[in-house]
Structure 1
Amino acid sequence: MQVAEHDTALEAAKDLGAFLERRREQIAQRWADAALFRTVFTVSRDEAVEACKAVVDALADVARSGRLEDVAAPGFDTVRDQLGRMSTSRAQAGFGSVHIDGEVVGLREPVTAMLRAESADATDQDVHARTLALTLLMGTLRLVVMDTTVHAGQELIARQRQQLLEVATPVIKLWEGIVAVPLIGTLDSARSQVVMESLLEAIVDQRASYAILDITGVPTVDSLVAQHLMKTVAAARLMGADCIVSGIRPAIAQTIVHLGIDLGSILTRATLADALAHALGRQDAVAPARPVAAGASPR
């Protein structure tokens, strides 16, 4: 009995594949007017139709293989490429996954209507088997699109988070040869890496001799934060810049002492102004003497 049901399902899937191939043009024309395609391909409807044809061809390949419920079926690679990009575009436009899922569900109705119309002379059993096969195929299509949408959404969130970290970690040129990074908020590993990369790039671009890390806006300093600061200072030194840490408030100083954190190798100042004054004083101290013109008395 199970073998017969399997054979019937496989035959229905192959029939569905042949149907999709025959009705490729009609399905593509109907889908091109659907919201999922229409709002993405706004320049040319012909482009939308071609994208729809590619998706129909991919679904026909899946149906002919009989792997209607297998998201790993080779035919779904094209679906991921076509519908995945479109659903990502919809997500970037502000539409949620539930809305996108509803748009994918809407693709099934015109195909079901065509399938029923073409199967008017078939037996009820054949019509039921083909309709079931189409339902399974479109259900798997929804899973593929949603998985692609979620994955793309995670990538978008990661990119936006990286952009926010960069924006929240500006490197400021305070004076010729002096740059500063005013840190505000919690320092974690990801942000500390951005701080280090941004600071080192600024040291190279500005040819800075001094870099100031101001932690006035950092609420707490623990061993992990201190470790990140020391790594940043060490990296700046390797780039030829002296690094000064400023903004160590009394409460943070006590915490550092209680934790037994050794910042002895790091130059510190109470405020950003103090750190800038120190850097300016050191620059004047090491500045080469100006040559005195002949006949002029030195000042």
Structure 2
Amino acid sequence: MSTTTTGHLANVLKTHENALLDGWLNGMLSRMVRRDKNAETELRAVASRFLPLVAAAAAKGNSYDIDTPAWSEVRQQLADLSATRVRQGYTPIETATFVFSLKEPVFALLRDSVDDSRELVDETSSVGALFDQLGLYTIEEFTKSREQVIMRQQQELLELSTPVVQLWRDVLALPLIGTLDSARTQVVMENLLQKIIETGASIAIIDITGVPTVDTLVAQHLLKTVAAARLMGADCIISGIRPQIAQTIVHLGVNLEDVITKASLADAFLVALKRVGANVTYSQELA
């Protein structure tokens, strides 16, 4: 199969652009799961821009190799389309159908335009391979865009899952929920240190009530966070030490002797208030 163009595809796209556009859109719309006026209008606009780009690339590049510079604008539009459809919730197949559904109307026009049967077979084969390349490129770009979205969402979830709360003047609380891995520890540390800088707090309570298990790695992450906070001038109290976690820490031989630990956040808060010079008094209502 040759990747050299014969000019038939470019000629068909230019000569029969309106008819091809209508046939292509009808084919795409018949396969669409989600149908609404805005989606159809957007689809027509994208398709109207795409056909002239393909025609220009086929005529200018003299090749159906989409990796050549002549096809750069076509690749860019497909990349933009893929990124947009990731955000809109489309699937990779729905996105690639944008290209694959163009085959049938193009083949029909080629049959009417090319008289020589052998030349028609060669051209149909080459054009089919071209659209296969473009469709696979669309899926590849869709996958890249989706991975970027997932990574960004994971980062946002990390930041949302590590809130630093100011409980009192000079007292911060960092409630942790879920597994504490290396990536999350970095976010935890950055958020805590930033909050210490902003508030000038001298006490930070790290509450691990929501951490399901504590192993050597988790304990090391906690100690790193405590050490970083101390370098910023804030002491740390670790709360939420349940009996099974206490036994695990002892069994692992983790040294927490120089860190204040408490069973609950309330107990840690009382200690923090005393450390900053605040007095807690209890009032009883008259019977």
TM-score bracket, normalised by the shorter chain, equals 0.7 to 0.9
Matches within 5 A, 1:62-141: 64-67=62-65, 72-119=67-114, 122-141=115-134
Number of positions where the alignment pairs a residue of Structure 1 with one of Structure 2:
270
1:15 aligns with 2:12: no
Identity level (%): 44
**Within 5 Å, which residues of 2 pair with 1:257-276?**
257-276=250-269
Paired with 2:81 and 2:72, the residues of 1 have a C-alpha distance of 14
Shift of 1:167: 1.8
Q: Could you report, residue by residue, the CA deviation over 1:116-135 in whole angstroms, capped at 9, with x for unpaired residues? A: 2222xx21001111111110
Q: Per the alignment, in what secondary structure is the counterpart of residue 65 of structure 1?
A: coil
Gap runs ≥5 in structure 1: 1-5, 286-299
2:184 maps to: 191
TM-score by length of 2: 0.82
1:51 to 1:17, Cα distance in 2 relative to 1, 3 A: closer
Report the alpha carbon displacement of residue 54 of structure 1 after superposing the two structures with TM. 3.0
Cα contact 2:14–2:52 (8 A) shared by 1 = no
Judged with a 3 Å threshold, the aligned counterparts in structure 2 of structure 1 residues 53 and 239 are, in CA distance, closer, same or farther, namely farther
Matched, 1:154 2:147: yes
Q: How far has the Cα of 1:56 moved from its partner?
A: 4.1
Question: SS of the counterpart of 2:7?
Answer: helix
CA distance in 1, matches of 2:159, 2:253: 31
Deviation at 1:197, TM superposition (A): 1.6
Deviations 1:251-285 (A, max 9, x none): 11111111111122322222111211111111117
Specify the code of the residue in structure 1 equivalent to 2:238.
V
Look up the equivalent residue of 1:102 and give its one-letter code. Answer: T
Q: 1:43 to 1:110 in 2, by over 3 A?
A: closer
Name the TM-score, length of structure 1 as normaliser.
0.79
* 1:193-235 C-alpha deviation (Å, 9 max, x unpaired): 2211221222222222211110011111111101111111111
Secondary structure in structure 2 of the residue aligned to 1:198: helix
TM-align CA RMSD: 2.9
Is the contact between residue 215 and residue 248 of structure 2 (CA under 8 Å) also seen in structure 1?
yes
**In the TM superposition, what is the alpha-carbon distance from 1:43 to its structure 2 partner?**
6.9
State the alpha-carbon separation in 1 of the partners of residues 144 and 102 from structure 2. Answer: 22
Alpha-carbon distance in structure 1 between the residues aligned to 2:59 and 2:104: 17
Shift of 1:74: 3.4
2:141 and 2:266 map into 1 onto residues whose CA distance is 51
| Distance (whole Å) between structure 1 residues aligned to residue 266 and residue 103 of structure 2 | 67
**Matching residue's letter, 1:65:** S
**Aligned-pair CA distance for 1:145:** 0.4
Indicate if the aligned counterparts of 2:205 and 2:268 stay in contact, CA closer than 8 A: yes
Which residue of structure 2 lines up, in the alignment, with residue 208 of structure 1?
201
Shift of 1:20: 6.1
